[in-house]
Amino acid sequence: MTDYNYIDFFGFLAALLTTIAFLPQLYKTWQTKSANDVSLIMLILFLIGLICWIIYGLRINSIPILVANIITFIFNFSILILKIVYSKNNH
Amino acid sequence: MTDYNYIDFFGFLAALLTTIAFLPQLYKTWQTKSANDVSLIMLILFLIGLICWIIYGLRINSIPILVANIITFIFNFSILILKIVYSKNNH
């Protein structure tokens, strides 16, 4: 493996892991029907941050930044929706 | 503001928001002494991903990638430690 490929490998692995990491959270929230311990402020700040990453990715024409952040946005937005729904049901 | 500064602004804001987002989660976990709803698999995958980002940042000599991911790692590692400690205390 060339040095360039080796560096790229870590970049792709990094983007992949920090994207799919939210899938087990989404699954857990769906299964337990509870996300009380998940911070609402974290989700909101993170989602606004992801929108900024998407704008940045569009501006610098970076497909990896765009793809990774759009998928991460979908996962985290779904967690936020579930949190709100389950929070209402528990009251 | 030049077009370059405008693009950079979104990049910095994105990195800032997706980094500090985990501070309210850390504070909430500390306050409630509970992180049962936070997925352990998410934390582990995310931390491994952040290590890959740090290696990538070192390799391409990117200070913003390094700084953002080291801080995010510290926050998430702390959340993981608290989750393990509180989980043991509740058993």
Interface of B with A in 9-38 (CB under 8 A): 10-11, 13-25, 27-29, 32, 34-38
B52 interaction partners in chain A (CB closer than 8 Å)? 10-11, 13-14, 17
* pLDDT tens figures, A23-58: 999 999 999 999 999 999 999 999 999 999 999 999
SS3 content of chain B, % helix, strand, coil (to 5): 85, 0, 15
Report d(CA A26, CA A12) in Å as an integer: 22
Q: What is the pLDDT of residue B64?
A: 85
Neighbours of B2 (CB within 10 A): 7
For the domain that residue A47 is a member of, what is the CATH number? 1.20.1280.290
* pLDDT tens figures, A62-83: 888 899 999 999 999 999 999 9
Q: Give me the number of domains chain A comprises.
A: 1
- Expressed as residue numbers, the domain containing A29 is 3-89
A79 contact B CB<8A: no
Cross-chain Cβ contact A18/B49 below 8 Å: yes
Q: What is the pLDDT of residue B88?
A: 86
Best mutation target, A56, A60, A65, A79, to test chain B (most B CBs within 10 A): A56
Q: Which residue has the higher pLDDT, B60 or B77?
A: B77
Report d(CA A42, CA B18) in Å as an integer: 9
Distance of CA A79 to the CA centre of its chain: 9
Cross-chain Cβ contact A42/B59 below 8 Å: no
Residues B19, B68: contact at Cβ < 8 Å? yes
Q: What is the pLDDT of residue B53?
A: 94
- pLDDT band for B91, please (50, 70, 90 cuts): low
Whole-prediction pTM: 0.90
